[in-house]
A and B are shown apart, each in its own frame.
Chain A
Amino acid sequence: MSQQETQTAERILIVDDEDLIVGAMRRYFQGLGYTVDSAYELEEAQALLGNYQYDLVIADLRLTGIGGVEGLQIVADVHQKFARTRVILLSAFGTPEIERESYNRGADAFLHKPKAMMEIAQVAKTLLEQ
């Protein structure tokens, strides 16, 4: 905790089961000056969330096979533990119902894949400035 207080850079957690996507996003956000952690699975993300208080979590809605909505669980966990942490959900198949559900659980943004990195960064910046 004390370590975090000394850092000026905002801390971001990126969760996606596609390592190429995680890699690309991590590099991009690091390039923008953020401290970036990443996770590929729900449990891994939950473990990190237990260790650090993040300023922003960017999570994919689906982390396992067809039908998974683990992202919703991450939103709920974050919302319960950290009032200040912002969450962006990304999805390649989001239906209007799931999008509504995400906001109900406390998501700050719901973005449909594909989105340009710049757009995601713009949303992240806006949320962190709030």
Chain B
Amino acid sequence: MTDDLVEALLEASPDPVWVVGRDGAVIAFNQAYARWTAFVQEEGAVTSWKDAQQRALNGRAVVMDAHLVVSGVERNFAVHAHPVKDGSGAVMMVREIAAGGRQSADLSIELALNRLFASDESLGDLLAGALEFLCVAEQWEAGILWLAYENEGVLRAAGSWFSAPETAERLRPRIAGLAIPLGRGIPGRAWAHSDVVWVADILDESTLHRGELAAAAGLHCVVAIPLLDGERVAGVLELFAQAVRPISERRKRVLLRTGQALARLLERRRAEDERKHLLTLIERKGHEWMMTFDSIELPIFLVTVGGSIARLNRAACGLAGGGYDDLLGSSILSLGDFEPWTTINDIVAAVSDSGVSCTAQISRDDRMWDVAASLLAGTEREEHRVIVVLREITEIVGLQESVRRGEQLAALGELVAGVAHEVRNPLFGIGLTVDLLQEHLRGDKTSEELTSDLRKWLVRLNALMEKLLEYGKTWTIDLKPGRLQDVVQQAVDACAARAADAEVSIEVIGNGVDRVVLMDGARLVQVFENLLMNAIQHSPRGNRVTIASSSDANEVEYSVRDHGPGFRPEDLPRVFQPFFTRRRGGTGLGLAIVQRITDEHGGIVTAESHPAGGAVVHVKIPLYGAAEISS
């Protein structure tokens, strides 16, 4: 190449261009260079391009930023240095970068980041977009965004961008596996010092293993910018350039600001994601709570101090007889001017006024409720509420009464049996004395009649004692699976003689019910004997008594019917009470014993007058499983 050609080439450039020899001395330059060096006297500026020049003389092409004050004005330059192949020197060029353009670019970066983060994209996509934008706008060839995991003390990559797709492919998997400890490497140092760390050429940082990594991709300059959110470092933005690029103080400040903007946006996004997550969580919890609330069988109302319904569960809707939406906001009194609403309304008022929890028992017709109300203190923004919980106790009260009655009967039974037993001995003594008296008075007709009467009274008294003992006996009931038809047949046989005496026939209808029940056969026979005896005693001569059976999946039922006068309607509630009788000479214990024994078998006995006349008593005994004994 001729000197003329070299000179022409040099002069073709409007920017300062110069050629240095192996020793660094300028051996050729253009007019622009001559003009520019006249302006630039600052030592720092000379140093920065001297640095670039040295690198080129070492055989590497570099681009460096130079930030200079020229005649009191801040100006930015890019210094390009290119080695001459044979190592004989280097070609240098300087281009000024317009300061105004730079400033507006800084602003537009923030605006662009803001716009980016305003979208609904996932954080991963957002970071990838932001990285690409930052790298392209600022002419970086690659960027990695590290997030700080403070509890672990490491940085992990949240996203990366590379201008060359093949580099991305090669480096991404390695980056993804990295965890950089606090203080280690370039990003670790930026995190530790909360300040920008830059390395003009990673090849100089021989201690960094990542250096090789970057060098493999032709990357030289690295800058790590802490993402400062106040004092806290949220992460580190690491940018790479192929050019060797010095970073001025001003540039550092700009990069720090970008880092802060990014940290703010990240934080905002994180908070937003957190909020969304919490909202979902609250929604789910709310749903769970509603499901739980609804699944409670007790009616629950949340009532305002003014007495209107603020919330209620499904059971409460059922009690109030309306839909959730219709009932919400309506007043308790609007549900009805009767119980339980009137009392609930009073209780709500009382609890609202006093703040003290309160319970009450409410009854309406044959239903009863326990109600408990307590104050749910509201916050400043929320008014107080009263929680009202109802529990229907109709059945429980019924059971309690039944238990009480059972206990009373048991106590009475024991007493009666005790008395009956003690009476037996004196009765025996009287009987023996009457026997003796009869022997003594033999032959005297009147005396014989009188002792005979005495004996009849004794027989009756003895019968009563036997019944009382039967009723009051505390039995160890011995339940075994068995068939009722056998028991019924025994009872029919036992009553046959009495039936014949009374000229009454016993007709067994459908005693083919071959179902198994748990029973104490000896005791259960008494039930049917008593029922048949009653029926026989109330039957007109020549009539018939029927005992009919049927069964379903749960129980077997026997009905004993006579064709006598039937029960008087007013007597029906009392026929099972001990000592209640309308029959002269009756003890009034027959049906009481029937009820007692049926109870012991878990069964139910009911009495009624048949529409076609006569009395009917139904005995229902639960089936033992669904088993059947094959005959």
Measured CB to CB, the residues of A under 8 A from B are 18, 20-21, 24-25, 27-28, 31, 92-93, 113-118
Q: Which of A31, A92, A117 contacts B432 (CB 8 A)?
A: A117
17 example contacts (A-B, Cβ-Cβ < 8 A) are as follows A20-B429, A21-B425, A21-B432, A24-B432, A24-B435, A28-B432, A28-B435, A28-B439, A92-B425, A93-B421, A113-B424, A113-B427, A113-B428, A114-B458, A116-B431, A116-B435, A118-B435
Q: Report chain A residues within 8 Å CB of B291.
A: none
Q: A24-B435, A114-B424, A114-B431 are in contact. List 18 more A-B contacts (CB 8 A).
A: A20-B429, A21-B425, A21-B432, A24-B429, A28-B432, A31-B439, A92-B421, A92-B425, A92-B428, A93-B424, A113-B427, A113-B428, A114-B458, A114-B462, A115-B428, A117-B431, A117-B432, A118-B435
Contact status B436-A24, CB under 8 Å = yes
Bound together, the chains give a CA A20 to CA B425 distance in angstroms of 10
- What DSSP secondary structure best describes chain B's contact surface? helix
Ranked nearest first, the 10 interchain pairs of A and B with the lowest CB-CB distance are A117-B435, A114-B428, A24-B432, A92-B424, A113-B428, A20-B429, A21-B429, A114-B427, A114-B431, A117-B432
A31 CA / B439 CA spacing, docked (Å)? 10
A58 to chain B, nearest CB (A): 12
Q: Answer whether residue B295 sits at the interface, using C-beta atoms and an 8 A cutoff.
A: no
Q: Does B433 reach chain A (CB closer than 8 Å)?
A: yes
In angstroms, Cα B439 to Cα A115, docked, is 16
Chain B residues touching A, range:
10 to 19
Give A120's nearest chain B residue, CB to CB: B432
How far apart are A99's CB and chain B's nearest CB, in angstroms?
14
Asked if B436 and A18 make an inter-chain contact with CB atoms under 8 angstroms apart, the answer reads no
Set B425, B439, B458: member contacting A18, Cβ < 8 A? B425
Q: Is the CB of A25 within 8 A of B432?
A: yes
CB distance from B442 to the nearest CB of A (A): 11
Distance in Å from the Cβ of B90 to the closest Cβ of chain A? 126
B362 to chain A, nearest CB (A): 49
A28 touches B436 (CB 8 A): yes
The residue that B425 contacts in the complex, of A113, A116, A118, with Cβ under 8 A, is A113
Chain B residue with the shortest CB-CB distance to A17 = B425
Q: For B428, what are the chain A residues with a Cβ–Cβ distance below 8 Å? A: 21, 92, 113-115
Q: Min CB distance, B402 to chain A, in Å?
A: 29
CA distance A25 to B431 in the complex (A): 11
Report the bound CA distance from A18 to B425 in whole Å.
8
Residue on B nearest A93 in the bound complex, by CB: B421
Query: How distant is the Cα of A31 from the Cα of B431 in the complex, in angstroms?
Result: 17
A117 CB contacts on chain B under 8 angstroms: 431-432, 435-436
Give Cα A92 to B427, complex, Å. 10
Cβ of B421 and Cβ of A18 under 8 Å apart?
no
Write the nearest CB–CB distance from A124 to chain B, whole angstroms: 14
Shortest beta-carbon distance from A19 to chain B in Å = 10
Q: Which residues of A contact B436 (CB under 8 A)?
A: 24, 27-28, 31, 117
| Separation of A117 and B429 alpha carbons in the complex (Å) | 10
Q: Kindly state the separation between the CA atoms of A113 and B427 in the bound complex, as whole angstroms.
A: 9
Q: Which residues of B contact A116 (CB under 8 A)?
A: 431, 435
Q: Give bound CA distance, A124 to B425, whole Å.
A: 20
Shortest B76–chain A CB gap in Å is 119
State A116–B462 Cα separation when bound (angstroms).
12
Complex CA–CA separation, A116 to B427 (angstroms): 10
Complex Cα distance, B427 from A44, in Å, reads 25
Docked Cα-Cα span, A31 to B442, in Å, equals 14
With contacts A31-B439, A92-B421, A114-B462 taken as known, whether A24 is within 8 angstroms of B427 at the C-beta atoms is no
Q: Give chain A residues whose Cβ lies under 8 Å from the Cβ of B421.
A: 92-93
What chain A residues lie within 8 Å of B432 (beta carbons)? 21, 24-25, 28, 117
Which chain A positions have C-beta within 8 A of B462?
114
Q: Chain B residues near A92: list those with CB within 8 A.
A: 421, 424-425, 428
User: In the complex, which residues of chain A have a beta carbon less than 8 angstroms from the beta carbon of B435?
Assistant: 24, 28, 116-118
Pick from A27, A93, A114 the residue with the most CB of B within 10 Å. Answer: A114
Interface flags, B407-435, vs A, CB<8A=1, else 0: 00000000000000100110111011101
